[in-house]
Amino acid sequence: MFLQEFVRAPLRTASVMPSSRALAARMIEPLQRSARDAQDPPVVVELGPGTGSFTAALHDARPDICYLGIELNDTMADHLATRFPGIDLVHGPASSLSRALADRGLVGADLVVSGLPWQAFAGSAGTDLVADIASNLAPSGAYIQFTYSWSRWAPPGRRQHRELQRFFGYVELPTTVWGNLPPAVVYTATEPRWVDVPESNTR
Ligand SMILES: C[S@@+](CC[C@H](N)C(=O)[O-])C[C@H]1O[C@@H](n2cnc3c(N)ncnc32)[C@H](O)[C@@H]1O
């Protein structure tokens, strides 16, 4: 399915295969850290879940999570709904995050996991998206995102890192997950902050 969707929309799909278990394990680490002291089921949002590599790891690690997935690709979203019956899934763009949380009466996600490609973070829409993610996290929440290691030093990768530093007080030094094809770097951002984004300052 990945290969087929990649041929149809390469920039949006960004990969010819789902992420590995090694990358999924790294992506859900903040959930395991917060699970130690959390009493209520954590609110977890997944952006771009695709066919569910991270979704499976999240539910295996913490079956009681209050989960919300947002997936743009209808074919992948249908597959995900079949693989995880009863899952709360929005078929739409990541920019519907605030509305989707508000519609469910959810305030302050504990974790936002992103499998979105760099294209979703391009231009002013990308800046708005990172601002939205930060403003929808609980003060103690975390945002985790990966990018492929070859793109880390390319302008879109560097821009993504800068945006994280702008909207979060702390961005952990990225670590490389070699057990993924291609290898991936993972960014974990905490201490979300509200930053006013003037339109002229979003390029
Ligand atoms: C690189 S794949 C990652 C899929 C899965 N998380 C994994 O790691 O195997 C990127 C996913 O993001 C989805 N996507 C791309 N742009 C999106 C957007 N603006 N909003 C929501 N989902 C998007 C794609 O359809 C695809 O499922």
User: What's the pLDDT at 37?
Assistant: 56
Q: Is residue 120 within 6 Å of ligand 1 at its C-beta?
A: yes
User: What's the pLDDT at 39?
Assistant: 66
Q: Where are the domains of the chain?
A: 20-192
Token pair for residue 4? 């087929």
The helix (H) or strand (E) run that includes residue 156 is helix 155-167
Residue 80 three-state SS = helix
User: What's the pLDDT at 7?
Assistant: 83
20-192: CATH number: 3.40.50.150
User: What's the pLDDT at 75?
Assistant: 95
> What ligand 1 atom has the least distance to the C-alpha of 9?
25
Smallest CA separation from ligand 1 atom 13, residue: 48
CA–CA gap between residue 11 and residue 155 (Å, rounded): 16
User: What's the pLDDT at 203?
Assistant: 44
Q: Is residue 186 within 6 Å of ligand 1 at its C-beta?
A: no
Q: Is residue 48 within 6 Å of ligand 1 at its C-beta?
A: yes
Distance 116 CA to ligand 1 centre (A): 4
User: What's the pLDDT at 105?
Assistant: 95
Q: Is residue 49 within 6 Å of ligand 1 at its C-beta?
A: yes
Distance 115 CA to ligand 1 centre (A): 5
What residue ranges of the chain have pLDDT lower than 50? 202-203
Distance 12 CA to ligand 1 centre (A): 7
Q: What amino acid is encoded at 38 in this protein?
A: A
Q: Is residue 145 within 6 Å of ligand 1 at its C-beta?
A: no
Residue 49 three-state SS = coil
Please report, for residues 16, 52, 64, 116, 117, the alpha-carbon distance to residue 5 in angstroms, rounded to integers and kept in the order given: 8, 15, 31, 14, 14
> What ligand 1 atom has the least distance to the C-alpha of 73?
25
Q: How far apart are the first and last CA of the chain?
A: 34
Do 132 and 95 form a contact (C-beta atoms < 8 A)? yes
The helix (H) or strand (E) run that includes residue 43 is strand 43-47
CA–CA gap between residue 85 and residue 94 (Å, rounded): 21
Running DSSP on this structure, what letter comes out for residue 120? G
Residue count (the chain): 203
